[in-house]
């Protein structure tokens, strides 16, 4: 079986068995069996994660990572290899990421080279949540194998198929999940002065939070505060005693993220003093920003060939690959999948792609393994 047919089979098999983070038991079993067929001895990590270590008798190691988990989405692609797990779907391309890393493993086994570094393949669970990369780092895997650089990819339907896209420095945002509960006091609408209107207070909070972006944070910083859900009140003629709203905060700087959330809490305290309400606030940082190493990037670009596109701006998406880059230098890049036929966005029920783009990923991984040079 040629590599494209094999990669296509892997991807379509994996696509049919989507599982949520830290629950990828069927996925893990499938990947493990395929690696064993290649002659590897896979190592289990975090129950559902898998490592493959190629000892090239070198001091340093470079790592390549794929995520494994899926999403709670009901698939509507109508493809012949659609999800067999009702209500769950590989709608973010992780099935393709795994197939590409399996293809890379296959090529490493068939086309040996005099590698300058040991190679560690990481099939990582729980990218979507709670952040498997952080768990891998906490488990000491990078230190155990003396990993000094790491590489990863993401399929991207906003980029033309056949293109590799990346940029130095910030590539993706830090994100935090915002949860706010405003508790006031109910009263009849005709006696509103006896109550504390949680809807009014929540509305003012939302407006003041947005003002942080234009009056507190410097204009050169890119930030997003989005409120995507709000619920409050029960009856039209009653002052609402409780309102809940939820959203997300995103930026490319951990310092800016902290300044935003600190300012939000200061606003909350002021509102509590002014109205006599109680505000429960939570917005912990979820994933750090993805920051590509400049030295590795300069080498990476030379390996991509004519099909490379440097992104002018980073994206306000988030990715737990950033946890690896907190520990060691790394490069995260995009593989374009957009065609006339395949153009649905990530995390949609119709996301799909042509597996041929995965060959490009395998070849680039192999070029990195052969030619990348690490600093002292």
Q: At 91, which CATH number?
A: 3.40.630.10
pLDDT string in tens for the chain (376-residue length)? 799 999 999 999 999 999 999 999 999 999 999 999 999 999 999 999 999 999 999 999 999 999 999 999 999 999 999 999 999 999 999 999 999 999 999 999 998 789 999 999 999 999 999 999 999 999 999 999 999 999 999 999 999 999 999 999 999 999 999 999 999 999 999 999 999 999 999 999 999 999 999 999 999 999 999 999 999 999 999 999 999 999 999 999 999 999 999 999 999 999 999 999 999 999 999 999 999 999 999 999 999 989 999 999 999 999 999 999 999 999 999 999 999 999 999 999 999 999 999 999 999 999 999 999 998 6
pLDDT of residue 111: 87
Among the three residues 242, 261, 286, which one is the final residue of a domain in this structure?
286
Omega prior to 130 cis, within 30 of 0: yes
pLDDT recorded at residue 285: 94
Q: Please give the structure tokens belonging to residue 41.
A: 């001895």
What token pair was written down for 46?
């975090």
Q: Exposed (0-12), middle (13-18) or buried (19+): which is 37, by Cβ within 10 Å?
A: exposed
Token reading at 209 = 């939070």
Last residue of a domain, one of 254, 286, 318: 286
Q: Which of 253, 286, 319 is where one domain is finished?
A: 286
Residues 6+ apart with CB under 8 A from 317: 172, 173, 346
Asked if residue 302 and residue 275 are part of one domain, the reply reads no
Which pLDDT does position 293 carry in this prediction? 98
| Residue 208 belongs to domain spanning | 174-286
Q: Are residues 146 and 192 in the same domain?
A: no
Q: Quick check: is 69 catalytic?
A: no
Q: Which of 19, 67, 127, 241 is catalytic?
A: 67
Residue of 75, 128, 197, 241 with catalytic role: 128
Reported as type and span, the H/E element at residue 50 is strand 49-54
Is the pTM higher than 0.85? Answer: yes
Q: Do both 255 and 304 map to the same domain? A: no
Is residue 376 one of the residues assigned to a domain?
A: no
Catalytic status, residue 356: no
Domain co-membership, 130 together with 159: yes
**CB within 8 A of 303, min separation 6: which ones?**
364, 367, 368, 371, 372
Burial class (CB in 10 A: 0-12, 13-18, 19+), 132: buried
Judge if 167 and 34 occupy the same domain. Answer: yes
Q: What is the predicted pLDDT for the residue at 375?
A: 85
Per the domain annotation, does 164 fall within a domain? yes
Shared domain check, 254 and 167: no
Residue with the two structure tokens 């001091």:
59
Total count of domains within the chain: 2
């Amino acid at each position: 079986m040629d590599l494209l047919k094999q990669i296509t089979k892997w991807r379509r098999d994996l696509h049919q068995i989507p599982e949520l983070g830290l629950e990828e038991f069927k996925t893990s079993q499938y990947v493990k069996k395929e690696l064993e067929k290649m002659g590897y001895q896979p190592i289990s990590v975090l129950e559902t994660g898998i490592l493959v270590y190629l000892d090239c008798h070198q001091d340093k190691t470079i790592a390549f990572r794929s995520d494994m988990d899926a999403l709670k989405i009901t698939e509507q692609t109508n493809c012949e290899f659609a999800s067999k797990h009702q209500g769950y779907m590989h709608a973010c391309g992780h099935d393709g990421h795994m197939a590409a890393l399996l293809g890379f493993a296959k090529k490493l086994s068939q086309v040996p080279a005099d590698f300058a570094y040991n190679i560690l393949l990481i099939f990582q669970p729980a990218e979507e949540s709670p952040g498997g990369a952080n768990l891998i780092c906490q488990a000491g895997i990078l230190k155990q194998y003396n990993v000094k650089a790491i590489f990863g990819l993401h399929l991207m339907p906003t980029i033309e198929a056949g293109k590799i896209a990346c940029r130095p420095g910030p590539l993706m945002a830090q994100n935090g999940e915002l949860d706010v509960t405003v508790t006031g006091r109910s009263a009849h609408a005709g006696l509103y002065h006896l109550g504390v209107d949680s809807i009014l207070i929540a509305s003012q909070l939302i407006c003041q939070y947005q003002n942080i972006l234009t009056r507190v944070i410097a204009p050169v910083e890119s930030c997003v505060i989005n409120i995507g859900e709000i619920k409050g009140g029960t009856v039209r003629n009653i002052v609402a005693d409780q309102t809940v709203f939820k959203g997300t905060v995103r930026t490319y700087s951990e310092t800016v993220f902290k300044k935003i959330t600190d300012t939000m809490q200061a606003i909350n305290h002021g509102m509590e003093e002014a109205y006599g309400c109680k505000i429960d606030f939570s917005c912990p940082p979820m994933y750090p920003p993805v920051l590509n190493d400049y030295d590795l990037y300069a080498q990476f670009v030379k390996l991509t060939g004519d099909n490379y596109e440097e992104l002018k701006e980073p994206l306000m998406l988030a990715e737990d690959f950033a946890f690896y880059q907190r520990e060691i230098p790394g490069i995260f890049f995009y593989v374009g999948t957009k065609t006339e036929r395949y153009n649905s966005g990530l995390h949609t029920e119709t996301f799909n792609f042509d597996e041929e783009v995965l060959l490009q990923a395998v070849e680039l991984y192999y070029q990195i393994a052969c030619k990348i040079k690490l600093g002292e």
